[in-house]
């Protein structure tokens, strides 16, 4: 196992860092640094800057716009994006739907959707969780009935991030309610959000924001050509997709930037032994997370295979570190502060409570590790 960066990889990091320093718009950087709201236009502006450079989808094959970078270079790029304070690249199209299409999609589906995802012409969201079917996703009830050359979709999805921005949603739906196992009879559909019968309703969170939504389907007509992979084999697609989603939830570069910001912001607490102890523990945990991530990268580099069930470790520890940093930032804040930044720090703390729930709750991730990796 080799966890060291080569001279070429170190030079690549400097190239990426230099380009980001010159090309990341200052207004977007300031918004990220100050926890300000990022609009759809903000997100897509940064997406299109990277697309113009040819860096928006590094993991894609070259023929579809990928960079040809190896897994270590891709990790370095993601880390530098987070450390520079770039707006997030919304993953639902680039890092979730696209890998599924590249692995399971037809040539017609790839030609139709991949260029538009790359250029930021279509904004995607994810239709997985339902009321009563979140961590236990295999119990989903949204139905899709095949009628000639289309499906009729009826049901509800919940906690759908940025659904109000989305042009398309990829959904898990039940196409065979009589299947013996719950994981069977589930299919993966691509649905145009402008289709009649779709209703999007906001869910107001603790921080007062509404980045997640309920999506209702009432006799929504979806062309059969929008089925990805085989009918009834959607669980295979879902597992493949979730491996990529959980690999990207560690956010090591972003946490490194937050750690630096926290140290600067909390300089007056440097003599508080308890605060210093918690801060030191988080820094050590972040270092350990980075080393663990490098182990996964080394294995992917050697085998060429996507991450396995043990990638859940990154999701668990990464999101716990993110929460810990938000907690310490709130602790360092003057309780009497009433300026806009203080208000955003408080809202961010509330918003970060959800990180250990999305992409499969951390409790479920521990069960996955126990069953699939440890054999318990």
Residues designated catalytic: 245
| Contact present, 173 and 226 (Cβ < 8 Å) | no
Q: List all residues 6 or more positions away from 123 whose beta carbon is below 8 Å from its beta carbon.
A: 40, 44, 90, 93, 162, 165, 166, 167, 168
Task: Please name every residue paired with 10 in a beta bridge, in sequence order, or none if there are none.
Answer: none
Chain position carrying tokens 């003057």? 334
SS3 184: coil
Chain position carrying tokens 């969780």? 129
Using N-to-C axis directions, what is the helix angle for 40-53 and 7-23, rounded to 10°? 130
Buried b (16+ CB within 10 A) or exposed e, 159-189: bbbbbbbbebbbbbbbbeeeeeeebbbbbbb
Buried b (16+ CB within 10 A) or exposed e, 263-293: eeebeebeeeeebeeebeebbebbeebbebb
| Contact present, 310 and 247 (Cβ < 8 Å) | no
| Contact present, 360 and 242 (Cβ < 8 Å) | yes
What is the C-alpha separation between 244 and 296, in angstroms, rounded? Answer: 12
Q: How many residues does the chain have?
A: 376
What is the C-alpha separation between 261 and 341, in angstroms, rounded? Answer: 13
Closest CA to 201 of 191, 209, 190, 210: 210
What is the C-alpha separation between 141 and 174, in angstroms, rounded? Answer: 6
SS3 79: helix
SS3 228: strand
Tokens of 283: 């820094």
């Amino acid at each position: 196992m080799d966890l060291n960066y080569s001279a070429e990889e170190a030079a690549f990091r400097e190239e990426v860092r230099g380009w980001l320093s010159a090309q990341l718009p200052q207004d977007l950087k300031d918004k990220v640094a100050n926890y300000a709201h990022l609009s759809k236009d903000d997100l897509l502006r940064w997406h299109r800057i990277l697309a113009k450079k040819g860096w928006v989808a590094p993991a894609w094959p070259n023929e579809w716009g990928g960079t040809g970078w190896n897994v270590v270079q891709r990790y370095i790029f993601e880390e530098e994006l987070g450390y520079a304070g770039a707006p997030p690249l919304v993953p639902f199209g680039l890092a979730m739907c696209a890998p599924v299409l590249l692995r399971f999609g037809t040539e017609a589906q790839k030609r139709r959707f991949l260029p538009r995802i790359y250029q930021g012409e279509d904004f995607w969201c994810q239709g997985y969780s339902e009321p009563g079917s979140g961590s236990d996703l295999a119990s989903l009830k949204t139905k899709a009935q095949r009628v000639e050359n289309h499906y009729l979709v009826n049901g509800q999805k919940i906690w759908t991030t940025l659904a109000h921005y989305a042009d398309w949603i990829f959904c898990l739906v039940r196409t065979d309610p009589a299947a013996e196992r719950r994981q069977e009879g589930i299919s993966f559909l691509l649905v145009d959000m402008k289709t009649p019968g779709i209703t999007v309703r906001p869910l107001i969170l603790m921080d007062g924001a509404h980045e997640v939504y309920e999506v209702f389907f009432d006799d929504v007509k979806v062309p059969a050509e929008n089925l990805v992979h085989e009918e009834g084999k959607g669980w295979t697609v879902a597992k493949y997709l979730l491996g990529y989603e959980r690999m990207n939830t560690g956010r090591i570069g972003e946490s490194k930037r937050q750690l630096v910001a926290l140290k600067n912001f909390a300089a007056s607490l440097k003599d508080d032994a308890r605060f210093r102890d918690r801060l030191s523990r988080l820094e050590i945990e972040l270092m350990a997370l980075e080393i663990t991530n490098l182990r996964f990268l080394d294995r992917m580099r050697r085998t060429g295979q996507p991450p396995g069930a043990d990638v859940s470790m990154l999701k668990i520890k990464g999101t716990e570190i993110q929460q810990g940093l938000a907690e310490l930032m709130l602790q360092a804040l003057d309780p009497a502060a009433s300026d806009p930044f203080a208000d955003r720090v408080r809202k961010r703390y509330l918003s970060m409570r959800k990180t250990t729930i999305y992409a499969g709750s951390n409790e479920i991730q521990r069960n996955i590790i126990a069953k699939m990796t440890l054999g318990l």
